[in-house]
Chains A and B, each alone.
Chain A
């Protein structure tokens, strides 16, 4: 009798704990998305229309979408390239906490400040060019190039890639690695067949955490890329702040949301597939 009562109470408590979360989700996730969808059906004069969606399928916006995805891909790819070895090394160091802190530390500094710092570093008469000059390579244009845009973005996103990979590596049972080595797997095979598949979830979480915000980057496109890189984020910013064409801005946002949802679905499926392969 007593036990049953406890279970009911527990269930009730659980429901009760759900309230803040549900409230949060409804107020700050569901409602804004619905609002965005609602706004996307109005043109700049406030009339109900589908013309925003038509406009999205013109070459201007399609090319912008393509370039957004391309740069987001580059940023994610290079972040992963740097972050995976870093995370791996981190799990092997003595003072993990300290090293991790040092990697996360830059994310405590405001993004704009970091961007401005890079303007100084990458400028024609900046530090990097001074070094290039000294080493005999000579001054190069760094600012307002694809290189600097991807570099700075990778720099900003690295902590978001390192953390989930680090966690996945930490959670991995080290005896599996020993077993693989005992059974004669080379270091590369161990990595390819054991470590990487087991940390794939971390890699995916990291890629999501980088790719999705990278799709809608906007301030850096102006400060570092000098508007030579135009992403959907730039267009949204312009429509909301300059043209006041909230409908078009919202429409682009709707497409971004759809793209992200699709992406998550796709990677979610592939995850199951890959783990199955690993099991075999």
Chain B
């Protein structure tokens, strides 16, 4: 017993010693209090080299933390505790955070690089005049499929997912808005529809899809589709590009009836303590060369038109990830439907998940 106690004591002493050593080292290098910047981003959503480059150029020590859903991120920022200086929420989360008074205004005077952003991505409905947010990446929701496994289907229409040849052969993303949105879009309704009959109709339509659905999964969807566990899947465009890097046979398409267009923007949450640093970081990420390098690493679509010009033709000319105006006009951005409606969407989604084959 005393041996056990001694072991634990030793572990504690070593741990505290190391913590102290890290603190001492940080302060000796000038990394302390006011000179750090805490960034809160999605996992694997920035080229780590760029963080190093920013640290070198600015002398600011970056503390990088990640989240896996907008909701988890909002909860943590609401609770306070950590002084996040920059966060990267999606559009509906930005409008919710604005409502909840969780964001600080962004000083455009400190962002000379903002001029590189394509005006199409500025001044959108969720944040007029970009008072609170600056575009980081954007993308779509669509279908990734394996042409070798689907016969003649092209997935130009959502309807193709319902095809009988795909029995037990598709994966869906585990997201209420995405799956319900697909159901609504396939019927020609808006994916922000809140009319009860339309939602029920969408649920009925989705339940017909049940025999084709092999599984409804989270991030594993990338690995599973790359390993050809199923012929097709409903995914985010960025995930699709990552999957296609791993398995070149696959293709991605956004169905013609319309789908979701989403944006992840950089914001400065209320918790920020280093405003200068936050603006410097945002400005740094808007630099065309930096944005181009980041785009190549992350694989999502950049809203930075100067960066796009720097990218090789096989990325910037790829219509699957930089669709033309005709298609983007048919895409919709998620509205903040309010907690009650969102809850209802989730209940319908749960009901859909419970359908047995």
Contacts and interface: CB of A to CB of B under 8 A. Distances in A.
16 contacts: A119-B224, A123-B224, A123-B229, A124-B227, A144-B215, A222-B216, A226-B217, A227-B216, A228-B215, A228-B216, A228-B356, A239-B343, A242-B71, A242-B346, A244-B71, A244-B75
Contact of B218 (A125, A222, A225): A222
Q: What 3 pairs between A and B have smallest CB-CB spacing? A: A226-B215, A227-B216, A144-B215
Q: Is the interface of B mostly helix, strand, loop or mixed?
A: helix
Interface in A234-264: 234-235, 238-239, 241-245, 248
Contact of A222 (B74, B174, B343, B350): B174
A74 interface: no
Interface residues of B, number: 32
Contacts, number: 85
B214 interface: yes
A67 B353 CA distance: 13
Interface string B275-309: 00000000000000000000000000000000000
Given A45-B340, A227-B353, A242-B176, A60 B215 contact: no
Nearest to A64: B354
Contacts of A244: 71, 74-75, 339, 342
A192 interface: no
B353 A242 contact: no
Given A144-B215, A227-B174, A241 B69 contact: yes
B72 A241 contact: yes
Interface in B211-237: 214-218, 220, 223-224, 227-229
Given A60-B350, A119-B220, A45 B339 contact: yes
Contacts of B214: 141, 144, 226
B101 interface: no
B336 interface: no
B347 interface: yes
Interface of B: 69, 71-72, 74-75, 168, 171, 174, 176, 214-218, 220, 223-224, 227-229, 339-340, 342-343, 346-347, 350-351, 353-354, 356-357
Contacts of A119: 220, 223-224
Contacts of B229: 123-124, 143
A223 interface: yes
B354 A238 contact: no
